[in-house]
A = this chain, B = another copy of it.
């Protein structure tokens, strides 16, 4: 047993987090072995982080996570630690409300990360967010505490930040919340990338309408239903314990 110290509740949560990794892969967040998710540990300045050298879709259970403290020291787990651990430690440090942090490379959000323009409501998906900040300070890999702190500052109090010419980082108060944030962000970016390409004269809703939409759709009930939907979809397509590989 790789983690004798792991309690049942943590083991159950890491099973859910593994499912979240595979759902992200299914929904277009996979990019070879790149990308990682983490869960705040139940006590202390530590978090469970997806191991490296495996794709998001290959994460099957608790053994695919390693325990890392906020200084980057690996405390448990037989897998390796991704070099971008400061993304996670610094967001957990800055945001006590956050339980789950993720950094991924979904295709359309990555393309959109090169845009010096705000996210626009081509469809309702952008109104899951209203705004998503763009982090431009450091767009190479985030491998130091200072770089992680700068990213956490760009994230601010929101749930997602676009990393210029690189990818996205997002977070949530629960596993379903964080996973849905990531999926909704990629949907919104896809709509804008494809819509902007069409070059249409566009019509966008006013701010007041956008805020109304935001209140209607970004609710715990909606992300619970959506999470449940993605769990059923994952099981129907791939079963519950099979590695999956994106279509890229």
Query: Which residues on the B side are within 8 Å of A138 (C-beta)?
Result: 209
Q: What 1/0 mask marks residues of chain A from 188 to 203 whose CB sits below 8 Å from any chain B CB?
A: 0011111111111111
Query: Which residues on the B side are within 8 Å of A143 (C-beta)?
Result: 216
Interfacial residues of chain A within 122-147, with CB under 8 A of chain B in the complex: 122-124, 136, 138-141, 143
Q: How far is the CA of A248 from the CA of B54 in the complex (A)?
A: 23
The reply to whether A198 and B196 form a contact with Cβ atoms under 8 Å apart is: yes
Chain B: minimal CB distance from A166 (Å): 6
Stretch at the interface among A67-75, A92-100, A112-120: A112-120
Query: What number of A residues sit within 8 Å (CB to CB) of B?
Result: 68
The reply to whether B202 and A166 form a contact with Cβ atoms under 8 Å apart is: no
Q: Which of B136, B139, B196 contacts A200 (CB 8 A)?
A: B196
Question: Which single residue of chain B is at the shortest CB-CB distance from A195?
Answer: B111
Q: What 1/0 mask marks residues of chain A from 157 to 200 whose CB sits below 8 Å from any chain B CB?
A: 00000001111000000000000000000010011111111111
Interfacial residues of chain A within 100-116, with CB under 8 A of chain B in the complex: 105, 107-108, 110-116
User: Do A191 and B123 form a contact, CB below 8 Å, given A32-B226, A203-B165?
Assistant: no
Query: Which residues on the B side are within 8 Å of A116 (C-beta)?
Result: 200-203
Query: Which residues on the B side are within 8 Å of A192 (C-beta)?
Result: 198
Chain B: minimal CB distance from A84 (Å): 10
The reply to whether B139 and A32 form a contact with Cβ atoms under 8 Å apart is: no
User: Do A225 and B114 form a contact, CB below 8 Å, given A105-B123, A123-B165?
Assistant: no
Q: A236 at interface (Cβ–Cβ under 8 A)?
A: yes
The reply to whether A213 and B27 form a contact with Cβ atoms under 8 Å apart is: no
Q: How far is the CA of A199 from the CA of B197 in the complex (A)?
A: 6
Chain A interface residues (CB < 8 Å from chain B) = 27, 32-33, 52-55, 58, 105, 107-108, 110-117, 120-124, 136, 138-141, 143, 164-167, 187, 190-205, 209, 212-213, 216-217, 225-226, 228-230, 232-233, 236-237, 243, 245, 248
Q: List 7 A-B contacts (CB under 8 A).
A: A32-B226, A55-B229, A110-B122, A111-B198, A114-B202, A115-B200, A141-B217
